[in-house]
Structure 1
Amino acid sequence: MFQDTWQGRLDGEELLFHRIFQRVKEERNYDNIAADDFVLHGFAVDEGVRRNKGRQGAKDAPDVIRKNMSNFPVIRPDFSLLDFGNVTCEDGDLESSQNSLAKNVSKVLLKGGKSIVLGGGHEVTYAHYLGVKTAFPEQKIGIINIDAHFDNRQPENGVGASSGTGFWQIAQEGQINSLHIGIQRNSNTLKLFDTAHQYGMKYILADELFFENLPSIYERINELVESVDVLYLTICMDVFNASIAPGVSASAYNGIFADTPFMHLYRHILKSKKLIALDAAEVNPSLDIEDRTARLAACLMNEWFMI
Structure 2
Amino acid sequence: MSYPYPMLKMPNMIWSKQTDKMSDLKVHEWIETVGDLPIDWSHYDVTILGIPLSKSSISTSAASENPDAMRQAWKSFGTYNLDEDIDLADLNVIDLGDVKQHVTNIEYTHEQIRKAMVAMRTHHPHTLPISIGGDHSVTAELVKGWKVAHPNETIGILQLDSHFDLRDLESLGPANGTPIRNLIESKTVEGNQVHNIGLHGFFNAKELKVYADQVGVHYTTMKLARKEGVCNTIKKALEELNKQVDSIYLTVDMDVLDIIHGPGTPAGAPGGMYTEELFDAVQIAGEHPKVNAMDIVCLDPRKDVEQITVKTAVHVMLSFLTGFCKREK
The equivalent residue for 2:22 is 15
Equivalent in 217, 236, 258 of residue 201 of structure 1: 217
Report SS of the residue matched to 1:193.
helix
In the TM superposition, residue 76 of structure 1 has moved relative to its aligned partner by 3.5
8 Å contact from structure 1 (residues 58, 284) kept in 2: yes
Equivalent in 168, 178, 181 of residue 165 of structure 1: 178
Indicate yes or no: 2:46 matched with 1:38: yes
In the TM superposition, residue 56 of structure 1 has moved relative to its aligned partner by 1.6
Task: Name the % identity.
Answer: 24
Report SS of the residue matched to 1:64.
helix
Q: Distance in 1 between matches of 2:243 and 2:279?
A: 21
Q: Distance in 1 between matches of 2:249 and 2:178?
A: 17
Q: Distance in 1 between matches of 2:114 and 2:251?
A: 15
In the TM superposition, residue 255 of structure 1 has moved relative to its aligned partner by 1.7
Q: Distance in 2 between matches of 1:216 and 1:125?
A: 22
Over 3 Å counting, the alpha-carbon distance change for 1:36 and 1:229 in structure 2 is farther
Q: Distance in 2 between matches of 1:31 and 1:178?
A: 36
The equivalent residue for 2:32 is 25
Q: How does 1:66-215 map to 2 (within 5 A)?
A: 66-74=71-79, 75-110=87-122, 111=124, 112-157=126-171, 159-174=172-187, 175-176=190-191, 177-210=193-226, 212-213=228-229, 214-215=231-232
Report SS of the residue matched to 2:289.
coil
8 Å contact from structure 1 (residues 58, 283) kept in 2: yes
In the TM superposition, residue 217 of structure 1 has moved relative to its aligned partner by 4.8
Q: Distance in 2 between matches of 1:36 and 1:223?
A: 30
In the TM superposition, residue 267 of structure 1 has moved relative to its aligned partner by 1.9
Q: Deviations over 1:129-154 (max 9, x none)?
A: 11211221110101111000010111
Report SS of the residue matched to 1:89.
coil
8 Å contact from structure 1 (residues 28, 84) kept in 2: no
* Greater displacement, 183-192 / 283-292: 183-192
RMSD: 2.5
TM-score by length of 1: 0.89
In the TM superposition, residue 7 of structure 1 has moved relative to its aligned partner by 7.8
Over 3 Å counting, the alpha-carbon distance change for 1:248 and 1:262 in structure 2 is closer
Q: Distance in 1 between matches of 2:56 and 2:35?
A: 26
Structure 1 runs of 4+ aligned residues shifted over 3 Å read 1-8, 28-32, 211-217, 261-265
8 Å contact from structure 1 (residues 146, 234) kept in 2: yes
Gaps of 5+ in 2: 1-9, 80-86, 324-329
In the TM superposition, residue 179 of structure 1 has moved relative to its aligned partner by 0.4
The count of aligned residue pairs is: 300
Q: Distance in 2 between matches of 1:87 and 1:205?
A: 33
Q: Distance in 2 between matches of 1:179 and 1:56?
A: 26
Q: Distance in 1 between matches of 2:110 and 2:56?
A: 10
8 Å contact from structure 2 (residues 140, 179) kept in 1: yes
For 1:220, give the aligned amino acid: A
Over 3 Å counting, the alpha-carbon distance change for 1:216 and 1:249 in structure 2 is closer
For 1:48, give the aligned amino acid: S
In the TM superposition, residue 4 of structure 1 has moved relative to its aligned partner by 4.3
Q: How does 1:48-67 map to 2 (within 5 A)?
A: 48-49=56-57, 52=58, 54-67=59-72
For 1:86, give the aligned amino acid: D
Q: Distance in 2 between matches of 1:152 and 1:267?
A: 26
